[in-house]
Structure 1
Amino acid sequence: MSGVRAYLRHCGGKLGGAAVSLLAVLVTGFFLFRIIPGDPVKVLTHGTPTTAEELAALRRQFGLDLPLWRQFTEYCGNALTGDLGMSYQFRAPVGELIVQKLPATLLLTGVAVVLYSAIGLWLGTRTAWRHGGAGDRLHTGVALTLWSVPSFWLGLLLIVTLSVGVGPVPGLFPTGGMESGDTGGLARAVDVAHHMVLPVLTLVAVGYAQTLLVMRASVLDEMGGDYLTTARAKGLRDASVRRRHAVPNALLPTVTMIFINLGHVAAGSILVETVFSWPGLGGLFYQALRVPDLPLVQGLFMMFAGAMILMNLLADLLYPLLDPRVAR
């Protein structure tokens, strides 16, 4: 019973922390984007003859003529009821726009997260178990290089080499977008997969490097443990010692990173989606920032941050199940 009470106290503290974080996101999401240079009304009417009366009418329509404190209270009240407002440029509810773009982002980043988490965990464990060898030095060097490379730069490099083509090497993949045309069935699935190759490769290259390095460091910390020596003394094979003893104890730091990566599934990668013209939430966020479309950027910011907070909360709630000492 004492263990259950300790776990419930742990859960209560983490839930309270998540609620405070969401409140901070709500406040930050309002004031952060108010300091972005630019007048949404002037940007939206650029190139169109507009009188001062028409500009004032648009400001009243968007609620930009209200005092800042009034805008803030209305924003908080609407957000707490699930109303994210109306997009300035698309003239559509922000919630509907998010729902429309979410599947494309989930498809792209979901596939990438699964791939680089699996690859990073497997390679991180193997390289740590054989640390100091040629394979360890090679994989660690590649991972350090890729982790330090900006994702948008890597994406542009892949477009130049594998989409446009270099010298006699022809372009093999599309330069952007999600599909080529009106196709259906299996042909459409193949077309979408063809368009996904380069953006997924970009996300996997950077993500697997981070996962590998964190998992490698965690396993190395566990390798000097007495419990591993005891397991070997019992006659367990090296692979069993690694799989059944070292890896489970090394997972705690990696679990946090994996859950954070799952939070990125909702956020997508703004830079990668923009570089590859992927029609997801990242590209939508970039479009909204250019105006700035305040209701849209605020709604997306809340969704991105909320997904990260939720995934961190789930990781915190899972910790005591992996290691009961965390809840004490």
Structure 2
Amino acid sequence: MSTTSTTSTTAVARAQEARAASGNVRAYLLYVAGKLGGAAISLLAVLVTSFFLFRIIPGDPVKAMTHGMPTSAAQLATLRRQFGLDQPMWQQFTDYCAKALTGDLGTSYQFHAPVGDLITQKLPATLLLTGVAVLIYSAIGLWLGTRSAWRNGSLGDKLNTGVALTLWSVPSFWLGLLLIITFSVGIGPIPGMFPTGGMESGDETGFAYVADVAHHMVLPVLTLVAVGYAQTLLVMRSSLLDEMGSDYLTTARAKGLRDDVVRRHHAVPNALLPTVTMVFINLGHVAAGSILVETVFSWPGLGGLFYQALSVPDLPLVQGLFVVFAGAMILMNLLADLLYPLLDPRVGR
């Protein structure tokens, strides 16, 4: 009788576990579906915004392209017709959306080449520069933010926080110019050690080429790291400070766990959610690069291309770059949202 009762209890427990697991899977799938739907709506909003936002920029693209050249009114009309600028706004919008949804971002006015090809050509340089910078400053920011929070109020905490706040408030282009003046041009006893701009010298091959590119990357990467790590440090520090007084940390210490173990295995994982969002947003910035930093250092990436497109304005190129930049941000935010339930099972329930 007792054996039958035990078997029945076990079967009931297993059935309850199966129902709970099924409910968790269903809740997660609904959570994923909601996030995917939100990302799709955001992308459609980006398409609408990219079309109308850049049409309020003052200037006539056709006149800008023909600036300094004798051009008749008939030739200007022909160019407007060629680029579709003579069509009603609603028709331009519907054509733009239809092509964008099929991957056709149009043809650049000034380069006379498909926007997608131009982006593909410039993307590797941007991924190299900002990718390296994001990896470095995310690691530094997480490490220093954790140490500052854990030793809250110490001299090291005050020093780290003060430096981070100062660098976070410094415009990146201004810091880049200071670095160029100091380490490229040279000032006082400091000689010029690094190139003033560009990605390569143009006359190197093999390992020498890799070293040359790395040499050109030092100052722009240093600029991005100096500004970026500060934000990551402050977010991680704030998140960890919120966890410091939690009961589960007191319980872990009462069990006799060492302070380092409590920090690494209990406090930090629970403080990571806001920082994970920050890291994924920074990864989204990898596609956009840093327009100002790339412009200051003449880096041949998407940031410099965006600056060139705005100066015309080259509407198809500006719109295409805006969609790529915003799309990367939406994708990274989506990945962060899908990762949250793995870090904290309470999310998505």
TM bracket, shorter-chain basis: over 0.9
- Tell me the amino acid that sits aligned with residue 268 of structure 1: G
Give the aligned partner of residue 171 of structure 1: 192
Following superposition, the deviation at residue 244 of structure 1 comes to 0.4
Q: Which residue is equivalent to 1:17?
A: 38
Aligned to 2:129: 108
Quote the offset at 1:19 in angstroms: 0.7
1:6 aligns with 2:12: no
Amino acid at match of 2:107: M
Structure 1 position 8, deviation (Å): 0.8
Matched, 1:144 2:165: yes
Query: How many Å apart are 1:182 and its aligned residue?
Result: 2.2
List runs of 5+ in structure 1 lacking aligned partners: none
Within the alignment, does 1:288 sit opposite 2:309 as a pair?
A: yes
Deviations 1:283-305 (A, max 9, x none): 00000000000000000000000
Matches for 1:184-223 after TM superposition, within 5 Å: 184-223=205-244
Aligned to 2:81: 60
User: How far apart in 1 are the matches of 2:162 and 2:315?
Assistant: 42
Equivalent residue for 1:262?
283
Residue 50 of structure 2: aligned partner: 29
Report whether the alignment pairs 1:242 with 2:263.
yes
Q: Percent sequence identity over matched residues? A: 83
Are 1:131 and 2:148 matched, yes or no?
no
Stretches of 4+ aligned residues off by more than 6 angstroms: none
Aligned to 2:247: 226
In our comparison, the structure showing a higher alpha carbon Rg is 2
Using the TM superposition, name which of 247-256 and 231-240 deviates more.
231-240
In the aligned structure 1, how far is the partner of 2:149 from the partner of 2:97?
A: 48
Distance in 2 (CA, whole Å) between partners of 1:268 and 1:91 is 24
Q: TM-score, with normalisation over the residues of structure 2?
A: 0.93
Taking the aligned partners of 1:51 and 1:64, their CA distance within structure 2 comes to 17
Deviation at 1:9, TM superposition (A): 1.0
C-alpha displacement of 1:168: 2.9
What code does the residue aligned with 2:331 have? L
How far apart, in 1, do the equivalents of 2:54 and 2:252 lie?
A: 56
2:10 aligned residue: none
Distance 2:127 2:202 in 1: 21
Establish whether residue 97 from structure 1 lines up as the match of residue 153 from structure 2.
no
Distance 1:324 1:8 in 2: 14
Which AA in structure 2 matches 1:295? Answer: P
> Which deviates the most, 4-13 or 209-218?
4-13
C-alpha RMSD of matched pairs (Å) = 0.6
- Under a length normalisation based on structure 1, what TM-score does the superposition of the two structures give? 0.99
What is the distance in 2 between the residues matched to 1:143 and 1:2? 44
Displacement, 1:170?
Answer: 1.3
Q: Which moved more, 1:166-175 or 1:311-320?
A: 166-175
C-alpha deviation, 1:54, in angstroms: 1.1
What is the distance in 1 between the residues matched to 2:175 and 2:152?
28
The Cα shift of 1:326 comes to 1.3
Residue 6 of structure 1, CA deviation: 1.0
* Partner Cα distance (1:167, 1:262) in 2: 38
Deviations 1:120-174 (A, max 9, x none): 0000001100010000000000000001111111111111111111123211111
What secondary structure sits across from 2:346 in the alignment? Answer: helix
Aligned counterparts of 1:168 and 1:310: Cα–Cα separation in 2: 47
- AA in 1 matched with 2:183: L
Matched letter for residue 142 of structure 2: L
SS of the aligned residue for 1:324 comes to: coil
**Partners of 2:181 and 2:132 in 1: how far apart?**
23
Aligned equivalents of 2:343 and 2:163: distance in 1? 31
The answer to whether 1:49 aligns with 2:70 is: yes
Moved more, 96-105 or 220-229: 220-229
